[in-house]
Amino acid sequence: QLQFVESGGGLVQPGGSLRLSCAASGFTLNNIIIGWFRQAPGKEREGVSCISVSGGNTNYADSVKGRFTISRDNAKNTVYLQMNSLKPEDTAVYYCAGVLRMFARSKCDLNAEYNYWGQGTQVTVSS
């Protein structure tokens, strides 16, 4: 079965940190661009960050630059999103998604049509 499993979400106070993990099963990540997306109730889904197949290129939404860091460990078949200095506005369900490199227009493209998605993990930032 081809799937992503996100974990690491939870409740954290403003200014706190969380690390999300996206573990792949049924396939390897070495040819897949990974993006992290989030969606809060009543809001559109937004791209948070993406990382190229070997980790050499990353992009971040302006709202998370300097606070979030995406990384990947292809040997462990896992992608991470380190989230620091969390704000209440970061509250959302976070999803990881993948797209084969050959179907993307660049090495790290949040606007690509991602066709592999995880189930999501809830992140709540509140005091």
**Which tens digits make up the pLDDT trace of 58-87?**
999 999 999 999 999 999 999 999 999 999
**Residue 18 parent element (H or E):** strand 18-25
Question: Who's near 75: CB < 8 A, 6+ residues apart?
Answer: none
Listed as ranges, residues in the chain with pLDDT below 50 are: none
CA atoms within 13 A on the CB side of 120: 12
Bridge partners (DSSP) listed for residue 34 = 51, 98
Q: What is the pLDDT of residue 27?
A: 84
Q: DSSP class of residue 113? A: -
Q: DSSP class of residue 124? A: E
